């Protein structure tokens, strides 16, 4: 029979580590062994299946007929985790596996975990930021990502979103020029647009209203060439909040 237990992350248990012996399971009494983790199901299945197969080989099965596997040596990667399996009845240890999908990259260094980038795409459609995200994650009984890691990923996703949006709007403007051409107009003829501008807060400045005063104005240009009325340009400018 296989028994399953999770070992606490080493990164956040330095004091316990200092007191621990060479026994890799020395931290099993920690209270945070009841915590949750965000893991990729298929990768967890693969980790367990490969460990069970390896443990069945003569090297281990001959002197350890009943494996007692547990998940050890956790490494936190933002919302994601790397870990390995060890057997408590023998010295078997699997290779340490990423329990998440990473993002292909030609650059140097560790590849980013997809959920760590994806969560910032979601945050862009909400009114909460990294601090509240940490609170939400902690509320689910999962160790929250570090503040610095969240900020770094937020900056990366923000820059990529801006680049993608500008490319998308540029393609839309080129398509509208093609429509001009099809209508017998000069390709450089003006494109009909409507504008909408809003502030980033409901008040400019007031001693009597709660909340942050508006510091930015966001203008959107919406094309009237087609019935789609897509956004083909935007402009953000800082405004003075002085009364
Ligand atoms: Zn064993």
Confidence (pLDDT) at 202: 73
Rounded to the nearest whole angstrom, what is the distance from the C-alpha of residue 76 to the centroid of ligand 1?
A: 26
Query: What contacts 56, CB < 8 A, 6 or more positions away?
Result: none
- Position with higher pLDDT, 214 vs 53: 53
Q: How far is the CA of 69 from the centre of ligand 1 (A)?
A: 7
Q: Which pairs with CB-CB distance under 8 Å and at least 24 residues apart come from 230-238?
A: 230/172, 231/169, 232/169, 232/172, 232/173, 232/176, 232/191, 232/193, 233/169, 233/173, 233/193, 234/165, 234/169
CA of 30 from ligand 1 middle (Å) equals 23
pLDDT digits (tens, 9 = 90+) for 140-171: 999 999 999 999 999 999 999 999 999 999 99
DSSP secondary structure of 10-27? STT-HHHHHH--S-TTTT
Q: Report pLDDT digits (tens) over 185-228.
A: 887 788 899 998 988 877 777 667 666 777 888 899 999 988 99
Structural contact between residues 92 and 54, judged by C-beta atoms closer than 8 angstroms: yes
- Crossing angle between the packed helical segments 114-123 and 130-139, to the nearest 10 degrees: 120
Separation of alpha carbons 138 and 35, rounded Å: 10
**Annotated domain spans of the chain:** 1-100, 192-243
Number of H helices, E strands in the chain: 6, 6
The pTM of the whole model exceeds 0.85: no
Classify 166 in phi/psi space as left (phi over 0), alpha (psi -120 to 50) or beta. Answer: alpha
H-type alpha helices, the chain: 14-19, 41-55, 58-61, 114-123, 130-139, 147-182
**In degrees rounded to 5, what are phi and psi of residue 218?**
-115, 120
| Cα 24 to middle of ligand 1, angstroms | 14
Q: Which residues contact 129 (CB under 8 A, 6 or more apart)?
A: 123, 154
Mean pLDDT of 47-71: 95
- Ligand 1 mean position to 82 CA, how many Å? 21
pLDDT at residue 15 tops 60: no
CA–CA distance, 112 with 79 (Å, rounded to integer): 11
């Amino acid at each position: 029979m296989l028994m399953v237990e999770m070992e606490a992350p080493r990164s956040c248990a330095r004091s316990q580590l200092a007191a621990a012996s060479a026994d890799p399971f020395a931290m099993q009494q920690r209270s945070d062994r009841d915590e949750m983790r965000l893991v990729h199901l298929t990768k967890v299945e693969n980790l367990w299946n490969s460990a069970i197969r390896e443990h069945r080989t003569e090297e281990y099965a001959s002197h350890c007929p009943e494996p007692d596997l547990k998940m050890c040596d956790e490494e936190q990667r933002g919302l994601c985790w790397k870990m390995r399996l060890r057997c408590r009845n023998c010295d078997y240890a699997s290779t340490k596996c990423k329990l998440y999908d990473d993002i292909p990259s030609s650059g140097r260094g560790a590849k980013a975990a997809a959920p760590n980038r994806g969560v910032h795409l979601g945050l862009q459609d909400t009114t909460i930021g990294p601090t509240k995200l940490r609170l939400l994650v902690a509320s689910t009984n999962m160790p929250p990502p570090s503040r610095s890691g969240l900020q770094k990923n937020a900056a990366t996703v923000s820059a990529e979103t801006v680049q993608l949006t500008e490319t998308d709007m540029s393609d839309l403007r080129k398509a509208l020029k093609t429509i001009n051409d099809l209508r017998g107009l000069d390709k450089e003829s003006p494109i009909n647009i409507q504008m909408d501008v809003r502030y980033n807060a409901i008040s400019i400045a007031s001693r009597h209203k709660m909340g942050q005063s508006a510091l930015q104005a966001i203008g959107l240009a919406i094309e009237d060439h087609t019935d789609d009325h897509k956004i083909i340009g935007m402009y953000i400018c800082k405004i003075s909040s002085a009364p």
